[in-house]
Amino acid sequence: MKKAKLHVEPTFDFELLGIVSPIRDYRMAWLINKELELNLVKADDLELEFLSAEKLEISQYFLSLPYGFIQLLKNKALNSSEQLAYLIPELKNLDYFLLVQDETDQLELSNFMEKLSQNPLVQSIVRIDISKLKSKENLLTY
């Protein structure tokens, strides 16, 4: 009998911002809600299991839009061995990721970046090219 293989190529149809800030995740969500006039809500922590048998719990805040979503993910977390681990290990200098998927193109990321960078609690904010990330599959949480 002939075997058929199904190859699925994930699509990364969202924009990604990286944020450096020393504040805790709930304060970051509050700051984003205040500055960008959004309503990010705490969602269940993401549980990522890796082949190395390590499990990683990532704090997340989520806002569902009519044609997309906005998601705040914490980059740093403790793994199941109580060691510091990262959602995107090649970007250890970033504390948070803001994923923005908007199929209507009504949300302007440049406005997001401008408003957030003016806040003294945000040290840095950068736009990230997802195609250049090695561990970009970790961002597929929906």
Residue 53's pLDDT band (boundaries 50, 70, 90)? low
Q: What is the pLDDT of residue 3?
A: 84
Residue 92 half-sphere exposure, CB side, CA atoms within 13 Å? 4
CB 73 within 8 A of CB 58: yes
pLDDT digit string (tens) for 59-89? 999 999 888 889 999 998 877 677 788 888 8
Under 8 Å between Cβ of 133 and 18: no
pLDDT of residue 142: 56
Q: Residue 71: what pLDDT?
A: 92
Residue 54 has pLDDT above 80, yes or no: no
Q: Is the dihedral of CA 44, 106, 75, 26 positive or negative?
A: negative
Under 8 Å between Cβ of 71 and 37: no
Residue 93 has a pLDDT of 94
Q: DSSP 3-state assignment of 46?
A: strand
CA–CA gap between residue 75 and residue 89 (Å, rounded): 8
Q: Which pLDDT score is estimated for 60?
A: 92
Which residues, at least 6 apart from 22, have a Cβ–Cβ distance to it below 8 Å?
95, 121, 123
CA dihedral 36, 41, 45, 50 (to 10 degrees): -40
